[in-house]
Amino acid sequence: MFFRITIRIQKLETRNPKRHVSRVRKEPFNRGAWAVERERCQIAAERPAPRLHNSSVADVAGRVLKSWKLDGRAAELRLIAAWPEIVGPQVAAHARPGRLERGLLVVYVANSVWLAELNRMFQKPMLDNIRRRLGTNDVRTLRLQLDPDPPNRK
């Protein structure tokens, strides 16, 4: 190995003495040596194929959330953040969104008077506003029930 390098350096120096010595060619790739090294170090046999298409961050994040089963939680958090705009400030003061599972949104209501009123008159418009605001069919049905942990009233 040392002998080969010195011969190449001498040849370069004899051809063009102004050229720098570090421009010696690298040895050609040796597949056999690479196979031995790969086996010795337990490196994967082949590199993965290059990706032919790019994905947006939104697509990747959606797939990750779905694989971790957090996609419903993301819709739930968007719903909580926009709740006063969806139902209005008066209803938002007496009702809050609960859990969202398999398209069923549980809405917790502060007392039985509000529960009866919302069930009777505002359930359908509330569901339409939620669907319009979220932009998806994450919420298919609503269930209104009394709040198990009502806010303390003075």
Locate 130 and state its tokens. 């939620």
Q: In angstroms, what CA-CA distances link 20 with 24, 82, 147?
A: 9, 68, 82
Show me where the domains of the chain are located. 2-41, 69-146
pTM value? 0.54
Q: What is the CATH number of domain 69-146?
A: 3.30.300.180
- 3-state DSSP call for residue 88? coil
**pLDDT at residue 48 in the model:** 46
Tell me what pLDDT residue 78 has: 86
Q: What is the pLDDT of residues 3-27, one digit of tens each?
A: 444 445 555 455 555 555 555 566 6
Of the pLDDT bands very low, low, confident and very high (cuts 50, 70, 90), residue 92 is very high
Give the per-residue pLDDT at 63. Answer: 84
Structure tokens, 10:
């001498």
* pLDDT tens, position by position, 27-83: 666 777 777 877 888 777 665 445 567 778 888 887 887 788 776 677 788 888 999
Asked if 105 contacts 142 with a C-beta cutoff of 8 angstroms, the reply is yes
Count the neighbouring beta carbons within 10 Å of the beta carbon of residue 76. Answer: 20
Pairing of strands 104-109, 95-101: antiparallel
Amino acid occupying residue 35: A
Residue with tokens 């590199």: 47
Beta strands in the chain (DSSP E): 95-101, 104-109, 141-146
